Homo-oligomer: A and B are copies of this chain.
Amino acid sequence: MKKIINEPMDFVDEMLEGLLLAHGGQLKAAESDPRAIIRADAPVSGKVAILTGGGSGHLPVFLGYVGEGLADGCSVGNVFSSPSAETMYEATLATHGGAGCLYLYGHYSGDTMNFDMAAEMAAMDDIRVETVLVSDDVASAPPDQWQRRRGVGGLFFVYKIAGAAAAEGMDLDNVARVARAASQSVRSMGVALSPCTVPAAGVPTFTIGDAEMEIGMGIHGEAGVHRGPLETADSIATRLVDAVVNDLPFERGDRVAVLVNGLGATPPEELYILYRRVRHLLDEAGLVTYRSYVGEYATSLEMAGASVSLLRLDDELTRLLDAPARSPFFQQS
């Protein structure tokens, strides 16, 4: 894959420089750490600070969800690699508004261990930290071990919910409570059509036949649950929706929000073709689609493919999902 880059080793830092030049009104780097990207108006006094982070290469995840009604800060790792505990700690210090912090991120072991170490460092400064992990990818472990699953596109919903809760003034316990409720109510499943190449590695993360697809493949190329000939959009939709709906399970009458997410190279046109059938299937299953999001919400560089995420909504989650939000990558009014 050809890339518009300079030195591969400078990928992340040059990306951040460009991002801050473009969105200086909304974002800044913490003074103590250029890899800690925070809201321009951080710390927001009296508000629970939401901290996230993870490897680069997934924009808008994670960085793209720092903003009003969303997260307060993000620790930025190398491509597909965890950020460091120290950066997380610096981001915590720079966003903490006196009401405690929620560490909210996708479940990957490296990230978890670093965030845990950062939480220990914050605890020594008497900063209270709660942690909520998002483990929405149904392909990565069976339902009875859902907490072992990795976090993917469903992260977006949990940012949206937790961010709205913090913005409306909930305390840390309640922000953590609604984040956990959202995390437990969201499920995702994806399909990959082509690999991506980590700039510093120079070789694709995996190989796949010219006429093949892989259902359930992870966003770094982790193996999925089914590899076979490329199918139509309608059959792909059926596979993804079935896996997601049967997992929670979602039941007739449930109110849901749906996200059809592009992994990078798949055009929006194809996402709408996929969404079309997803929507038919949800209607047939008796689920009430309350809100739909179609676009690139969590990517893997230039990987081709898509994922479907479903969030079950109660009245509280509905209110929080409806709230306004604003970042350089996501706006809802």
Contacts and interface: CB of A to CB of B under 8 A. Distances in A.
Contacts of A110: none
A213 interface: yes
Contact of A275 (B22, B194, B275): B22
A213 B2 contact: yes
Contacts of A211: 2
A4 B193 contact: yes
Interface stretch (A117-125, A139-147, A294-302): A294-302
Interface in A246-302: 260, 264-276, 279, 292, 294-296, 299, 301-302
B4 A266 contact: yes
B2 A269 contact: no
Interface of chain A, helix or strand or loop or mixed?
mixed
Contact of A273 (B18, B236, B267, B272): B18
A273 B6 contact: yes
A275 B4 contact: no
Given A2-B211, A2-B213, A6-B234, A273 B304 contact: no
B268 A59 contact: yes
B2 A270 contact: no
A178 to B, nearest CB: 25
Protomer copies: 2
Contacts of A60: 268
A57 interface: yes
Contact of A272 (B15, B210, B260, B333): B15
A306 interface: yes
A14 interface: yes
Interface in A1-38: 1-6, 11, 14-19, 21-23
A207 interface: no
A227 interface: no
A142 B1 CA distance: 32
Contacts of A45: none
A197 to B, nearest CB: 11
Chain B CB count within 10 A is highest, among A11, A19, A267, A301, for A267
Given A15-B270, A266-B302, 18 more contacts: A2-B213, A4-B305, A6-B234, A14-B272, A14-B273, A16-B272, A17-B272, A18-B271, A18-B273, A18-B274, A18-B294, A21-B276, A21-B292, A22-B275, A60-B268, A264-B265, A268-B299, A331-B332
30 contacts: A2-B193, A2-B194, A2-B210, A3-B270, A4-B233, A4-B271, A4-B274, A4-B306, A5-B233, A5-B270, A5-B273, A11-B269, A14-B233, A15-B269, A15-B273, A18-B273, A19-B275, A21-B276, A22-B279, A22-B294, A23-B292, A56-B269, A59-B268, A265-B265, A265-B302, A265-B304, A266-B302, A267-B299, A296-B296, A302-B304
What are the 9 closest A-B residue pairs judged by CB atoms, nearest first?
Answer: A18-B276, A18-B272, A265-B265, A331-B331, A18-B275, A59-B268, A22-B292, A2-B193, A4-B270
